[in-house]
Amino acid sequence: MKLQAEIGDNNHELEIRRDGEKVFAKVDDREYELETSEPESGVFLLKHEGRIYEASVSDARAAGSPVQVRVGTREFEVRLIDPKRLRSVGSGADHSDGLIEIKTAMPGKVVRILTELGVAVEKGDSVLVVEAMKMQNELKSPKAGTIKEIRVAEGDAVAAGDILATIE
């Protein structure tokens, strides 16, 4: 599983693979082999090179929401992003009617615009490609409709939450 983690102002690439109680993790360019257990919900014991670390993780209520992680006496706010799920976010839960905004989940750069103003799109059609943390992510239409607005150009830098396009 490949993830991206935001910790404060730092972004890290994570790759995690589990094999029984062993976890193989790659954080940026560093690799770790850990033995893990979860003695109680939200509390993890991690054994690495003969040392045991206890980590407590708060329950995230929504995907992409930050979680509080405590390791020993140190606390961190961590936001995990699954690039495979890095998709457009609409203005409401029901995508069948009304205007939908395609937004970025994290800062990046628009590398390709795959459609044009006024073009009809189906649910799941790719609209734009945004590069974030060296990974290109296709932002897809959450509903069938017509491209009403494209607010960016190829090469534009975008911030998390920026509206890139709208579909009606």
pLDDT (tens digit, 9 = 90+) per residue, 59-97?
A: 755 556 788 899 988 999 888 877 665 544 443 444 455
Q: Which stretch of DSSP H or E encloses residue 16?
A: strand 10-19
What pLDDT, on a 0 to 100 scale, did the predictor assign at position 83?
Answer: 67
Record the pTM. Answer: 0.47
Q: Which domains does the chain have, with CATH numbers?
A: 2-81 (no CATH), 86-167 (2.40.50.100)
Asked whether residue 135 carries a pLDDT value surpassing 50, the answer given is: yes
pLDDT tens, 143-164? 899 999 999 999 999 987 788 9
What pLDDT, on a 0 to 100 scale, did the predictor assign at position 86?
Answer: 52
Which distant-in-sequence residues (6+ apart) come within 8 Å of 96 by Cβ? Answer: 143
Size of the chain in residues: 168
Q: DSSP secondary-structure letter at 84?
A: G
C-alpha 155/C-alpha 102 separation (Å) is: 17
Selection from 40, 42, 87, 45 nearest residue 63 by Cα: 87
User: DSSP states of 85-122 as a string?
Assistant: G-----SSS--SSS-EEEE-SS-EEEEEE-S-TT-EE-
pLDDT tens, 95-114? 455 788 888 877 889 999 99
